[in-house]
Amino acid sequence: MIYNQQEFEIRMEWGLKGVEMFAPVSDVMIIVDVLSFSTCVDIATQRGAVIYPYRWKDESAIAYAKTVGAELADFKRKFTDGFSLSPTSLCTIQSGTKLVLSSPNGATLSLSTGNIPTLCGSLRNAKAVAACAKTFGKRISIIAAGEQWPDKSLRVSFEDAVGAGAVISYVEGKLSPESKASLAVFESSKESLLSDIKKCSSGKELIDRGFEKDIILACDFNASENVPVLEGGCFYKRFLDKTAIS
């Protein structure tokens, strides 16, 4: 298959088509959605919460949350009065909390990997996730989520190219040209991550909406040693004692 980069050990691609193309030839997949699904998942699971990714922001999410006995994060990004797709809103989440987090990008990709081991990567935990990925095998696929244009088509995003490149910088193996390109983007910005991401399109949008703190949290490079692992439809902190989750 021309597009699956299978002759390389380290592969990088964008969006749902990338997941579909890589899953059959991967030992592990890493989903990168820096602003903000991956950052939210890292912060929440690091604190001992369990995150149930969900594709849609509609009434079906309410029903799903009830079936798994979880709270439902607000569809509207906010950092007060409950949880949402704002990393800031999750900084005080309690251990054992079960939370459904709806996201058309990161959540959708996470739920599309089938039975392939799936990790959630970000700038916050790039080194830790890369180290964990190596334990599953040599065929490591990094999927950058990107964003959506108003017509729902994929918008390639600077922050996810950087995030994917950050993970790639810590893995070993033969890199595809796509992986090399993402790595080069990261290398060009690693000394100015916060500044560059604030200036990119996604960053400017969040700042305009009052969520600059979310960007600061997302750019806290390697601040976390947490590795969120998808198992049974939800992300857990790796090695979490699941008997503590009611």
Per residue in 144-199, pLDDT (tens digit) is 999 999 999 999 999 999 999 999 999 999 999 999 999 999 999 999 999 999 99
Residue-wise pLDDT for 115-154, tens only, equals 999 999 999 999 999 999 999 999 999 999 999 999 999 9
CB 195 within 8 A of CB 207: no
pTM here is 0.95
Q: Does residue 166 contact residue 30 with C-beta atoms inside 8 Å?
A: no
Tokens of 105: 């990008």
Q: Give percent helix, percent strand, percent coil of the chain, each to the nearest 5.
A: 40, 20, 40
Q: State how far the Cα of 58 lies from the Cα of 4, in Å rounded to an integer.
A: 33
CATH number of the 9-237 domain: 3.90.1560.10
